[in-house]
Amino acid sequence: TTSRAAPARESASESDEEERVTPAEEARRAEESERAAQRERQARLLEAARREREERLEREARAEAAAAAAVESEARGRRQQAARAAEEERKRAARAALVDEMEAQARQEEAARAAAPLRTTQAEQSSMRSAIEQALSQ
């Protein structure tokens, strides 16, 4: 049994030596772990900065789009207002033209009525002349 126990003890002894970590190895591992943690923190910071930049760009794009929409809406409102004003002006001009036409027609009718008695009088005078001439010629 001693011959078997000796190799087992050697094997256990080697295993203990492998598990034992020298202070230099421990320091190296700690340094490596610290560097890995530092890289991880830096990666998280970079990712956060990237997300923040993307969000800022999206906010700026939305603000620009909203400003453009406001400008377009204002321009559309001005165009509609100008169109309404032009339509009102067209209606006003049409009413004014109609009033002018009605006034001109009324003046013509008034002139015609004023001239009617003269024409009647001229017709009557002409008729009387004819009657007088006939009476004289008899």
Give residue-wise pLDDT tens across range 2-14. 555 555 555 555 5
Give residue-wise pLDDT tens across range 60-109. 999 999 999 999 999 999 999 999 999 999 999 999 999 999 999 999 99
Token pair recorded at residue 16: 């203990």
Taking the model in full, what pTM does it have? 0.43
Separation between Cα atoms, residue 25 and residue 63, nearest integer Å: 56
Secondary structure (3-state) at 1: coil
Separation between Cα atoms, residue 138 and residue 63, nearest integer Å: 110
20: left (phi over 0), alpha (psi -120 to 50) or beta: beta
For 102-126, what is the mean pLDDT? 80
